[in-house]
């Protein structure tokens, strides 16, 4: 009982401390400049080379366009396969028959 109570008090203390530090550093600030400064500060201390990775992240419009293209290509391939299903199934059946022969 006491060990469980101590464990829970420690968890609450760690969570409360983390919340205090993030509020103190301005993570929850509505000011975008403050958030950018905080991000730069954390990135320079935690992972100095993280700026390399953030520059490699594509823009949302590019990701959206690529997802649409991939989705559309997947739909087209599915319907093309379904259109040619009889010959595809025949070919698959022949391969299975040949494999087990």
Quick one: CA dihedral 32, 36, 42, 46, positive or negative? positive
Structure-token pair, residue 28: 């929850």
Q: What is the pLDDT of residue 96?
A: 94
Confirm whether pTM is higher than 0.75.
no
| pLDDT tens per residue across span 14-62 | 999 999 988 888 878 787 788 778 877 877 777 776 666 666 777 888 8
| pLDDT tens per residue across span 85-100 | 899 889 999 999 999 9
Across 68-95, average pLDDT: 91
Cα atoms found within 13 Å of the Cα of residue 16, Cβ hemisphere only = 6
The tokens 């990701």 sit on which residue?
63
Distance CA 65, CA 75 (A): 15
């Amino acid at each position: 009982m006491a060990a469980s109570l101590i464990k829970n008090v420690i968890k609450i203390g760690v969570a409360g401390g983390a919340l205090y530090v993030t509020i103190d550093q301005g993570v929850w600030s509505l000011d975008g400049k403050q958030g950018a400064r905080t991000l730069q500060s954390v990135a320079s201390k935690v992972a100095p080379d993280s700026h390399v990775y953030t520059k490699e992240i594509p823009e949302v419009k590019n990701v959206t366009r690529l997802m649409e293209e991939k989705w559309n290509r997947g739909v087209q391939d599915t319907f093309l396969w379904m259109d040619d299903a009889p010959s595809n199934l025949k070919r698959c059946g022949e391969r299975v028959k040949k494999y087990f022969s």
